[in-house]
Amino acid sequence: MVDNSLALSSIARESTVGAEPLIALRGVTKAFPNVLANDNVDLDIYAGEVHGLLGENGAGKSTLVKILYGFYQADSGQILLNGEPVSIRSPHDARDLRIGMLFQEFTLIPAFSVTENIALFLPDLKAVLDIKGIYHRINALSERYNLQVNPQAMVSQLSIGEQQKVEILKLLLSDARILILDEPTRVLAPHEVKALFRVLDSLRKDGYAIILITHKIKEVLECADRITVLRGGRVAGSLPRSKASEDKLVSLMFEKELSILQISQKSALDESVPPLLELRGVETRGEGAETSLKAIDLKIYPGEIVGVAGVSGNGQKELGDVVLGLVKCVRGTKFLFGQDYTNRSIQEVRKSGVSFVPENPLTMAAVPFMTVLENMALTDARRYARLGGLAMDWQAVKTDVEDTLEKLGYSFSLYVPARSLSGGNLQRMVIVREMSHNPHLIIASYLTRGLDVQSAIAARQALIRARESGAGVLLISEDLEELFTLSDRLIVLYGGKIVGTFKPEETNIYDVGHLMTGSEVQRVSKY
Amino acid sequence: MSQNIDTPFRTSLLISTLWVVVRYLIIFLVAFVLFGVILLIAGKDPVLAIKDTFSSTLRSTYGFSEVIVKMIPLIFAAIAVALPSRVGLINVGGEGQLYMGAWLATWGALTFTPLPPWVLLPLMMLLGMIGGSLWAFIPAFLRARGLVNETITTLLMNYVAPSVVTFFIYGPWRSPGNALYPQTVDFVPAARLPTFWGTRVHLGLVIALVLLVWYWYVMTYTRWGLEIRAIGGNPQAACRNGIPLTTYIIVVMCLGGALAGLAGMSEISGLHGRLRPGFSPGFGYLGFLISWLSGGNPIGILVMSFVIALITSGGDILQINQGLPFAVVNILLAITLFVVLARPSFLKEKKA
């Protein structure tokens, strides 16, 4: 395999001279019902380059690379490999052409060791496993590309960053020379992102072609050689790194001027009033893949946004659920609005004025085959029930929904089944529902996931308005920038524990990133 | 995704309704053809047999009334399955709940003999519902607590209920006058549901139809229907939205049991006038089949109940005219179920 990468580097030298792309897309078009995902896209990827594929959510990045990896077939257009047209009908075809893809969701088997996971993916896996040989190949590659992991470790014991390394090793060992990385930085802490970019750099030097998908401008400026910007399914522009600047890329990504988030002056917190939410020494017992919370002490005062930072799976979901009442406290007490709610039911918590935006709108908040309007009434059906429940006042639901829709500047149809909405619209639906009726406490997990930039700004603005009117917000997010912009106070969760509490202006992204990944706690402020 | 989605969705609703009708016509056609093949193997004339089945049931008043009589418990039993299925519960226990309803209603009929019919009949109905819902409460409670899956418990309890009934019929309630057939004494006239038009069709029909409308109304228009459908559609989301899952599981399952119990009560009070062992030829299971075939749709339940009643009544005729054992009806029902379960992909519901 090491030979193989050396062979690649010779290709790289040739191709930079001859300037023939290793793989090229010509006029690729792909339509889905109601949306044209890719419209006549041309894309050239050269050996020995990191090609940044930039665009906001829904710009067609994922569809494009899924066509390249054989998940979808293009409606029209061509894929050229070394100038020869090829047909990629399945991921298997793609792997035969030495195209590999790193997915957002990892495909590792937790109960297997690193070596076993990698062996499973090898194209030339023999009937009798040569574990030792694979082991040596892994070591050689991880040495070469700074991808250090212990090949004997169980995947279940690896951190997210290490698992990503295993996924990359998997691709390298299976002979891929074109690597597609679908938002690889999404799950990483800032210093892990830096490490990943170093890995990409050394891969580039050995002639690999790398497609890096992201919606973060800073990242492409940091590590890409060339940048292609997609907007609404079309190529808005393609330019070498040397000609790219942040302003230029922003103007390519967004057609319209973006409205700017209005952040009101954060007022001094009045800690003499009782907190809206207080957790005292709360512990939970997680089953299976869940995380157990340990000794959580948390207060949210009126007019305060408390941000929760952490790599996903470190107790954020459980923290939200314990406030909602879905997860029971095995120890400790929970107070809402000054009253003990430790053992109250979800409907009592909801009724007291708590809103909840869960991390996955489709599985955790919406009933797919019901209409959007029916979904809107679900959190507070009693409010809209007439004649003691014998009838529902759908007109009132509609009025309330339209009211909130207008405030947020969203629009979607109310009379279609929720399952026919796109991911972004589903998220908007949940946000609209949870922001109606002036909640006193909002638990928002990954509030802006799947939203376009303009909708995300509107959603954040709604949180700020809620804060201004005296509500409290628990904002769980993996977007550190979002947390730093919105939060009045920031806590970091690691392994179910609060490992740091800060005011955003007293810390920086790197310190928080280190805490998120369980590195040495260097500085924990007095809060 | 904008407003323009509205129109295609509505037109597709009309098409899908038509499609359902066509689909079931094809299903029954296939079932009858397969059934004909079996009759041929048995050396009978399938065309004549099927013609006999239809003419005897649909072309004589008596035959038709007998179909309606069979339909009554089937409607009850089908709603008893369809209602819990809306929250995602699988109630296979209709048969057991039906027996327990009949059992408790019989106790009422034998105990409160002096009461006038307008007191005794409602009382028996109430007792029938209590009997059925108590039998359903046990699996519902175990399920709500997350202990045992309700499919298994309801099914297993079906084997217990008839034994309880049999115990009472052979023991304390046995009619002294009849040594050959173990059964209870005849109910007093006040404990009998009135019958109509000189046939065996009884008041149970009206109650069943009212309950069918009630089921449709609750599901479509009320807050409870909304919340029930939400739980069935996505229990996790419903739970996070503050809908009390455990309460609904228990209440809805018990309501289902109550309906099955009513089926039992109406059978013994309207039809038999006494409790005897094996008074139900598997109405509970047929109700499950009907609910399943109709997808919980009220009109579907009505139509399917009629069709299944027709087939079972036809069995009697086949027995008499063609000398076929009654079990051939079970073969036809089994084939129908088989065709539905193994329906070829072109018959499957199209997902949007």
Domain residues for the domain of B152 are 60-325
pLDDT surpassing 60 at residue A45 = yes
Structure tokens at A327: 């997860």
Structure tokens at A54: 């930039």
pLDDT surpassing 80 at residue A28 = yes
Is the Cβ pair B240, A356 closer than 8 Å? Answer: yes
Structure tokens at B127: 């007792």
Residues in Cβ contact with B228 at an 8 Å cutoff, skipping those fewer than 6 apart: B86, B87, B219, B248, B252
Nearest Cα of chain A lies from the Cα of B330 at a distance, in angstroms, of 36
pLDDT surpassing 90 at residue B72 = yes
Is the Cβ pair A351, B242 closer than 8 Å? Answer: yes
Does A343 contact chain B (CB < 8 Å)? no
Task: Provide the 10 A C-beta neighbour count for residue A292.
Answer: 16
pLDDT at B212: 92
pLDDT at B187: 84
Q: How confident is the model at residue B73 (pLDDT cuts 50, 70, 90)?
A: very high
B-chain residues near A427 (CB < 8 A):
none
Is the Cβ pair A365, B1 closer than 8 Å? Answer: no
Label residues A4-26 b or e (16+ Cβ within 10 Å = b): ebeebeebbeebeeeeebbbbbb
Is the Cβ pair B237, A391 closer than 8 Å? Answer: no
Task: Assess if residue B223 is contained within a domain.
Answer: yes
Is the Cβ pair B6, A356 closer than 8 Å? Answer: no
Read off the pLDDT of each residue in B317-325 and give the average, rounded to a whole number: 74
B234-B238-B239 Cα angle (round to 5)? 120
pLDDT surpassing 80 at residue B272 = yes
B 192-231 residues with CB below 8 A of A?
221-224, 226-227, 229-230
Q: How confident is the model at residue B64 (pLDDT cuts 50, 70, 90)?
A: confident
Give me chain A's average pLDDT, please: 83
pLDDT at A13: 41
pLDDT at B179: 66
Does A379 contact chain B (CB < 8 Å)? yes
Closest by Cβ to B223, choosing from A350, A358, A392? A392
Read off the pLDDT of each residue in A501-509 and give the average, rounded to a whole number: 83
pLDDT surpassing 70 at residue A151 = yes
Does A36 contact chain B (CB < 8 Å)? no
Of residues B339 and B90, the one with the higher pLDDT is B90
Task: Assess if residue B6 is contained within a domain.
Answer: no
Read off the pLDDT of each residue in B278-286 and give the average, rounded to a whole number: 87
Read off the pLDDT of each residue in A331-351 and give the average, rounded to a whole number: 88
Nearest Cα of chain B lies from the Cα of A382 at a distance, in angstroms, of 7
Least confident of A387-401, B270-284, B321-335: B321-335
Q: Work out the burial of residue A316: count CB atoms within 10 Å of its CB; fewer than 13 is exposed, 13-18 middle, 19 or more buried.
A: buried
Q: How confident is the model at residue B5 (pLDDT cuts 50, 70, 90)?
A: very low
Instruction: Kindly report, residue by residue over B200-210, the tens digit of the pLDDT.
Output: 888 899 999 99
Closest chain A CA to residue B244: A347
Q: What percent of chain A has pLDDT over 70?
A: 90
Residue type, A178: I
pLDDT surpassing 60 at residue A27 = yes
Task: Assess if residue B139 is contained within a domain.
Answer: yes
B-chain residues near A422 (CB < 8 A):
1
Instruction: Kindly report, residue by residue over A192-244, the tens digit of the pLDDT.
Output: 888 889 999 999 988 899 999 987 788 888 889 999 998 888 888 888 988 88
Order of all β-strands in the sheet with A305-309: A354-357, A441-445, A472-476, A305-309, A489-494, A497-502
Does A416 contact chain B (CB < 8 Å)? yes
pLDDT surpassing 70 at residue A475 = yes
Task: Assess if residue B338 is contained within a domain.
Answer: no
A-chain residues near B222 (CB < 8 A):
385, 389-392
Q: How confident is the model at residue B98 (pLDDT cuts 50, 70, 90)?
A: very high
pLDDT surpassing 90 at residue B104 = yes
Q: What is the pTM of this model?
A: 0.73
Q: How confident is the model at residue A519 (pLDDT cuts 50, 70, 90)?
A: low
What is the separation, in whole angstroms, between the first and last Cα of chain B?
A: 15
Run of H or E residues at A255: none
- Strands A441-445 and A354-357 turn out to be parallel
Q: How confident is the model at residue B78 (pLDDT cuts 50, 70, 90)?
A: very high
Closest chain A CA to residue B4: A413
A-chain residues near B5 (CB < 8 A):
34, 413, 416, 420
Q: Are B265 and B105 in contact (CB under 8 A)?
A: yes
Is the Cβ pair B226, A368 closer than 8 Å? Answer: no
Label residues A144-175 b or e (16+ Cβ within 10 Å = b): ebebebebeeebeebbbbbbbbbbbbbbbbbb
Q: How confident is the model at residue A7 (pLDDT cuts 50, 70, 90)?
A: very low
Nearest Cα of chain B lies from the Cα of A447 at a distance, in angstroms, of 16
Q: How confident is the model at residue A266 (pLDDT cuts 50, 70, 90)?
A: low
Residue type, A353: G
Least confident of A147-161, A263-277, A459-473: A263-277
Nearest Cα of chain A lies from the Cα of B242 at a distance, in angstroms, of 4
Of residues A214 and A265, the one with the higher pLDDT is A214
pLDDT surpassing 60 at residue B347 = no
Q: Which residues is A211 bridged to in the sheet? A: A51, A180
pLDDT at A526: 38
Helices (H) and strands (E) in chain A, counts: 19, 22
Is the Cβ pair B5, A379 closer than 8 Å? Answer: no
pLDDT at B209: 94
A-chain residues near B230 (CB < 8 A):
367, 370, 374, 378
Q: In CATH, what number is assigned to the domain containing residue B72? A: 1.10.3470
DSSP symbol at A113? B
Task: Assess if residue B314 is contained within a domain.
Answer: yes
Number of folded domains that form chain B: 1
Closest chain A CA to residue B9: A416
Q: How confident is the model at residue B141 (pLDDT cuts 50, 70, 90)?
A: very high
Is the Cβ pair A324, B240 closer than 8 Å? Answer: yes
Q: Are B86 and A370 in contact (CB under 8 A)?
A: no
Q: What percent of chain A has pLDDT over 90?
A: 10
Read off the pLDDT of each residue in B160-178 and give the average, rounded to a whole number: 84
Question: Three-class SS of residue B47?
Answer: helix
Domains of chain A: 2-105+176-253 (3.40.50.300), 277-516 (3.40.50.300)
Least confident of A100-104, A125-129, A382-386: A125-129
Residues in Cβ contact with A500 at an 8 Å cutoff, skipping those fewer than 6 apart: A490, A491, A492, A507, A511, A512, A515, A521, A524, A525
Place of tokens 């906001």: A56
The residue among A268, A293, A51, A297 whose CA lies nearest residue A178 is A51
pLDDT surpassing 90 at residue B264 = yes
Closest chain B CA to residue A391: B222
Task: Provide the 10 A C-beta neighbour count for residue B301.
Answer: 27
A-chain residues near B223 (CB < 8 A):
381-382, 384-385, 389, 392
Closest by Cβ to B239, choosing from A326, A351, A421? A326
Chain B interface test: which of A327, A378, A384 (most B C-beta within 10 Å):
A378
Nearest Cα of chain A lies from the Cα of B302 at a distance, in angstroms, of 24
Least confident of A127-141, A153-167, A379-393, B326-340: B326-340
Is the Cβ pair B242, A367 closer than 8 Å? Answer: no
Task: Assess if residue B31 is contained within a domain.
Answer: no
Does A392 contact chain B (CB < 8 Å)? yes
Run of H or E residues at A23: strand A23-32
Distance CA A485, CA B31 (A): 66
Task: Assess if residue B334 is contained within a domain.
Answer: no
Is the Cβ pair A389, B222 closer than 8 Å? Answer: yes
pLDDT surpassing 90 at residue B260 = yes
Least confident of A141-145, A280-284, B24-28, B67-71: B24-28
Is the Cβ pair A356, B5 closer than 8 Å? Answer: no
Q: How confident is the model at residue B96 (pLDDT cuts 50, 70, 90)?
A: very high
Q: How confident is the model at residue B124 (pLDDT cuts 50, 70, 90)?
A: very high
Q: How confident is the model at residue B223 (pLDDT cuts 50, 70, 90)?
A: confident
pLDDT at A270: 67
Structure tokens at B153: 């418990």
Does A115 contact chain B (CB < 8 Å)? no
pLDDT at A459: 87
Place of tokens 């109960």: A111
Read off the pLDDT of each residue in B124-141 and give the average, rounded to a whole number: 94
Read off the pLDDT of each residue in A504-523 and give the average, rounded to a whole number: 72
pLDDT at A3: 46
Task: Assess if residue B308 is contained within a domain.
Answer: yes
Chain A interface test: which of B16, B226, B349 (most A C-beta within 10 Å):
B226
